[in-house]
Amino acid sequence: MDSKPEDSVSPNLKARNKGVALVLVFIGAYVTYKAFGYGLGELSRLGAGALPFILGILIILVGLFIGIFSPDGEEPAPATKWRPVVLVLSALLAFALLIESAGLIVATGALVFISGMADPEHTWRSLLAIYIFLLGTVYIIFVRLLSIPFDMIGG
């Protein structure tokens, strides 16, 4: 009885890639379908649905690319490292929850420092440099150039 139960549970890399490709194609198709409801507009004056439509098509193309050009080997799929996944998703959630109540400075700090813990090679100095650069870039582009009213400090 030399059967290995982990081999029967773990999908191979080809099967995982095909599954991811299928999910991406369905998501892209859904986004593209929903974009029609917002109106695509004309080439000279694009409507609200033009960007979601283009992004939906790009998601479909990425899914097709992954599905067609995925490796043919039967090697087992690499194990998922859950710590980075959880930390990056937590960072995005923290940003979403803090942006209105605590302001751009605190929300961006939470985003950078929580997601930075996902990579053990980052030091607090490198994360601080990323934070300062990102905060400055976001401020210049969104607050100054696009005049989007972000509160820098929550109120």
In SS3 terms, 95-132 reads as HHHHCCCCCHHHHHHHHHHHHHCCCCCCCHHHHHHHHH
Clarify whether residues 62 and 17 are in a common domain.
Answer: yes
**pLDDT of 146:** 85
| Helix H or strand E segment including 26 | helix 13-36
pLDDT digits (tens, 9 = 90+) for 55-72: 999 999 999 998 888 776
Q: What is the number of domains present in the chain?
A: 2
**Residue with the two structure tokens 């009885």:** 1
Clarify whether residues 9 and 65 are in a common domain.
Answer: yes
pLDDT digits (tens, 9 = 90+) for 69-82: 877 666 676 777 88
Domain boundary pick from 69, 102, 124 = 69
- The answer as to whether 155 is a domain residue is no
**pLDDT of 114:** 96
**pLDDT of 7:** 44
- The answer as to whether 128 is a domain residue is yes
Clarify whether residues 64 and 91 are in a common domain.
Answer: no
Q: State which residues of the chain have pLDDT below 70.
A: 1-11, 72-75, 77, 155
- The answer as to whether 153 is a domain residue is no
d(CA 77, CA 67): 15
pTM assigned to the model: 0.61
Torsional class of 14: left (φ above 0), alpha (ψ -120 to 50), beta (otherwise): alpha
Q: 3 — phi, psi (to 5°)?
A: -75, 140
